[in-house]
Amino acid sequence: MRSGVRDQPGQHSETPSLLKIQKLAGFMNHRVPAHKRYQPTEYEHAANCATHAFWIIPSILGSSNLYFLSDDDWETISAWIYGLGLCGLFVVSTVFHTISWKKSHLRMVEHCLHMFDRMVIYFFIAASYAPWLNLRELGPWASHMRWLVWIMASVGTIYVFFFHERYKLVELLCYIVMGFFPALVILSMPNTEGIWELMTGGVFYCLGMVFFKSDGRIPFAHAIWHLFVAFGAGTHYYAIWRYLYLPSTLQTKVSK
């Protein structure tokens, strides 16, 4: 009887912690070593899919809107480049996370899609800069940066192909350099309309990077990263629509 009485306090003291662990187990798995890929829980898988799938249709509609607002060849080309980058980001991400969730036994397919998902980010960054580099007066460096961003995207793609998931910190630094280097040219443009929106979008991306590498530390970290990407992309889209496409359309209507 006495031994049973002594065991009960220990059991009661462990119960709250065990319940807490069980509750968190459904929302987050243990963190993995740097050379391995984190395996999301069922809830995290669903959130990863939903947080980017939701934006596929808006990105298609938004890209189409820029195309119909285009007044010349450069605006049309820029709308196509930006639209493909924007839509491609959300579509590829959604397909990869869906396969990773529902068809994880297809190891090779999942691996290739994961690589493709990371490669698309480089081209999305380059595509996001394309309208500004093509449609704004930026000085002598602009003509070089138009091609340099695509060279950087190609180098990033080659890096992912050969070193995918090996050096995660290096991969993160590549995204940061790719995101900020062209901004040096953009921020020097004489016409400063849209600067604040560009900076705000950049802040969203930077804040999201905190969650990008926090799987296993913060529940739904990757899904939160997806939301920051969506907010950043939405802010940049507004700037492109408002300051690069809408003014010319309004002027045309007035002249008519």
φ, ψ for residue 126, nearest 5 deg: -60, -40
Q: Is 144 annotated as a binding residue?
A: no
User: Residue 168, SS3?
Assistant: helix
Known binding residue 226? Answer is yes
Torsion over CA of 166, 167, 173 and 177, rounded to 10 degrees? -50
Other CB atoms within a 10 A radius of the CB of residue 94 amount to 21
The answer to whether the annotation marks 45 as part of a ligand binding site is no
DSSP code string of 130-152 = HHHHHHS---HHHHHHHHHHHHH
CA dihedral (97, 98, 104, 106) in degrees, to 10, reads -110
SS3 letters across 72-119: CHHHHHHHHHHHHHHHHHHHHHHHHHHHHHHCCCCHHHHHHHHHHHHH
CB 78 within 8 A of CB 253: no
| Binding site members for Zn(2+) | 97, 222, 226
| Binding site members | 97, 222, 226
